[in-house]
Chain A
């Protein structure tokens, strides 16, 4: 009871859009679902709807900004669709802990790869960036991934805002690390005739 329940309710209102929308349309009714005292209910129902919504939205945009930092290629490939997809993704996923932004980015790449209406080459860019993120935690010296598109050329085109050649060409992405070193060496190998 008291502050513990108020904080639990606030945490949900800040992070759960569906609950927040229900609360904003009928605060008294929704507040009853929590173990709140009548005074707490009175205080929570007095929250400014505008400011509650603004704060909640700022949390989502903060997450989006952090994810773009590590999925910059995916963001370039999906353009404005990236943020639309991310806002959809945040309805069902909330990261936690000191590596929350990393976990958020990885979960988002899985979400992108599960969507049917995303071009395959964009999904491969997301998968490529997910692999790069996972390398940080990998207890390995060699990682090889096979892609169906010429990622090296696609990445160069994304960086230079050029038109992208989306013809399939099987490509190996290879990451290699020497024992006792933290730096990964990375090369692409395009397989001719594939």
Chain B
């Protein structure tokens, strides 16, 4: 399996402009960065300079948000071409996208939208992924999304749906453990059952962050410290998988950078130093 030879990157953070100064002041405390690919497609010259700068000091993992791998209409070839050029130029250890669709019929939904858990959707996304893989040299890892809305007509569980896609496309998994936790709360399912149904050996990277409750639902807002249940899930996964990387994916309501670094250090101690005594009592 192509995933066997991937390097271990450690504990990284989703790069955001808001903390670039603090990031460079604490360069030795961040193992690598995940960048949003779209921010560097048709970029403003300032973004081009920014990419050159962060690339000089960090390993970068491109993370796509608008490829719409689940679009039954097929992929936007112009976008794919630009994305492939960006990723091939960066030549990262791997890159990631989501199991979802973001556009249909000329409408850009503006967010990751769930697919029905059906064989038809599997056939669509597998075909699209195979098309993309022909153009991008680095291995692809696929992320599970949160969904407020369940599309009726499911022919299998979410975990079975994801597993089938991973196996048919020989892709790695970016398991967003916050998304998994949120879905398990909002849709009332057992995380252990989910884990029992996915190919754990394909998990390469984890995403983690915190959200908040609104009208009885846990919202995937990327705006709060990581939930204790998510830390527990990371600890559990560190024992049953061979993690290559964890990423703190904070997008909103930024605290002091030192608080983000504390979360990174905690993730590092859980995921890559399981025998080390915990420095902080988070869980």
Known: A3-B72, A137-B44. A15 touches B107 (CB 8 A): yes
In the complex, chain B residues 233-272 whose Cβ is within 8 Å of any chain A Cβ: 252
**Total cross-chain contacts (CB, 8 A):** 102
Is there an interface contact between A54 and B215, defined as CB atoms closer than 8 Å?
Answer: yes
Q: A116 in the interface, Cβ–Cβ < 8 Å? A: no
Known: A3-B72, A4-B72, A137-B44. A97 touches B152 (CB 8 A): no
Number of interface residues of B (CB under 8 A): 40
The chain A residue sitting closest to B147, CB to CB, is A55
Known: A11-B109, A12-B107, A95-B108. A3 touches B120 (CB 8 A): yes
Identify whether the interface residues of A are mostly helix, strand, loop, or mixed: helix
Alpha-carbon distance A14/B105, docked complex (angstroms): 13
Q: B73 in the interface, Cβ–Cβ < 8 Å? A: yes
Alpha-carbon distance A94/B20, docked complex (angstroms): 31
Alpha-carbon distance A137/B120, docked complex (angstroms): 41
Is there an interface contact between B116 and A48, defined as CB atoms closer than 8 Å?
Answer: no
> B39, B45, B148: which contacts A55 (Cβ < 8 A)?
B148
CB contacts (< 8 Å) of A4 on chain B: these are 72-73, 104
A10-B151, A11-B107 given; 14 more Cβ-contact pairs under 8 Å? A6-B151, A7-B105, A12-B107, A42-B152, A43-B116, A51-B148, A54-B215, A54-B217, A55-B148, A58-B219, A59-B109, A95-B110, A98-B39, A182-B45
A–B Cβ pairs within 8 angstroms, 19 of them: A4-B104, A6-B72, A7-B73, A7-B104, A7-B105, A10-B104, A11-B103, A14-B113, A15-B107, A43-B152, A47-B149, A58-B219, A63-B110, A95-B108, A96-B106, A96-B108, A97-B108, A100-B108, A136-B44
Residues of B within 8 A of A (CB): 38-39, 41-42, 44-46, 49, 66, 70-73, 79, 101, 103-111, 113, 116, 118, 120-121, 124, 148-153, 215, 217, 219, 252
